[in-house]
A and B are shown apart, each in its own frame.
Chain A
């Protein structure tokens, strides 16, 4: 099933909504296309419907009337999960406690009637691929969280699925391990080149892993785009604030300039409007000499975080501005500073609905 653009199936989700039996509207009808070999990340705060969407694609949940799921153009809506050939990594891993690590990894192959010798070969391959050599005969309760995560991944990949579905696979792990495994997972997904859908509430995970990111909010899709698009061109305030740090500035616009308490700030493509909402990323604000700057403020606080320092400036904008400054410049609380912001770095957001 491999093609020039990668492995696995392409997925089309058409008007898939979900209302649970208890009346919970978990998902507004949504449509989505996922290309073969693409890694798509579903990103959003807890309870926004990410898992529900994933389970609909997996076949664990039926979409509401009218919803359709297509794999390679074929309607699979009525096909149960066991015949969809999907690899799934559950948030809780769902490893079988009654089987060893190797038996867990080989279970899908056993179901497919693959002979024992061939199965053992494939299991050994996956054990090597996921760095769990030596654990093959362990029981599941003798594994650490990170090891369980790897076994779950190996088990899901073993069956050569058409699509790999991962539901917050790193959430249960501590921060350092999460960071390391994220890198490993990224390399593995690239190496396999398989279609994958990855659910997370962690925006930095989403950025690193996703070819495209679907930002979700309250059961609806807020924005779909590449990590860069999502970061630099958020469609609305929710996306802007959810992805990374963002300064939200409410001001009036006069001939292409934001009129602010601390001065005027040029924006790209200027017009005049009585009230606009703009977003400025902290790292796109430079701290400059106060005399020449068109925008000025006073430093409220400075926190040194190693690779940079986070400076909060008041008086420039209606609300305090957060600035990510290089760790080499010297500023202190109380200093008057000038701010330099490229006009392209200011992004107008649609007014709040």
Chain B
């Protein structure tokens, strides 16, 4: 009896907390498909706002994906070999490098952006292109890639596998291709999902680095909140959700599969 009571209490509390988070999300999403938000849902449902967002901001969505996947490419190409080198070399120097790579997680995005602006602001063409934002995103997401790959390296004792392959005559490149990468796939996938999700949603840094011609989705979102009808901004949120939720679900499924292994 007492147990039942406690359970019911916990259940209700959980529901309440969930509702606290879900209701605003649901409201925001419904607002995006409501004809007139102030008159409520009885004013009718419409996709006109979504269409309007698409017209106005399609390029920000395109740019966001371009930057997210470019960030992924760079973090993969640089991050996986870096993690390999750091793990296999070990020692003080490697730990120091690891710390430096990790630093951007702790530094506020704004400060990071300021540093980038101070350093590269003078290079006009670079400053004005989307590559400038890409640079910021790479700096910001690299630790997540390197860390998750290094975690998997430690868990499968990649150093010994590497030495095993070396003893059989494999060059560093062959080892990397045949043994290191295949055995690090779970970490690489987890890192990739994280990098793409973080890049798509990044605001702080991007807001400082963007120009009117290089707006990403979250920047466009802020823009629409500031200057458009609430319905348009909400429709924009809806689009963002549709894009980001599958990624989050994939990440979650992935984490669970790792746990059950």
Contact = CB atoms under 8 A, between A and B. Distances in A.
Contact of A82 (B92, B156, B171): B171
A24 to B, nearest CB: 13
B166 interface: yes
A107 B168 contact: yes
B253 to A, nearest CB: 22
B211 to A, nearest CB: 45
Interface string A72-108: 0000000011110111101010111110000000011
Given A21-B91, A98-B182, A60 B169 contact: no
A305 interface: no
Interface in B179-233: 179, 182-183
A112 interface: yes
Given A96-B183, A98-B179, A107-B178, A82 B170 contact: yes
A156 B167 contact: yes
B70 interface: no
Contacts of A82: 166-171
A156 B168 CA distance: 7
Main secondary structure of the interface of B (DSSP, over half): helix
Nearest to B185: A98
B165 A97 contact: no
A353 interface: no
The range of chain B's interface size is 20 to 34
A94 B183 CA distance: 12
A21 B94 CA distance: 13
Interface string B147-179: 000000000110011011111111100100011
A60 B64 CA distance: 46
B169 A83 contact: yes
B125 to A, nearest CB: 43
Contacts of A90: 160, 163-164
Given A21-B91, A97-B156, A98-B183, A108 B168 contact: yes
Nearest to A112: B169
B174 to A, nearest CB: 6
Nearest to B168: A108
Nearest to B184: A98
Nearest to A21: B91
User: Most A CB atoms within 10 A — which of B160, B163, B164, B174?
Assistant: B164
A322 to B, nearest CB: 41
8 contacts: A81-B167, A85-B169, A88-B163, A94-B160, A94-B163, A95-B164, A111-B169, A159-B169
What are the 7 tightest A-B residue pairs by CB atom distance, in nearest-first order?
A: A94-B164, A108-B168, A88-B167, A98-B182, A94-B160, A111-B169, A82-B166
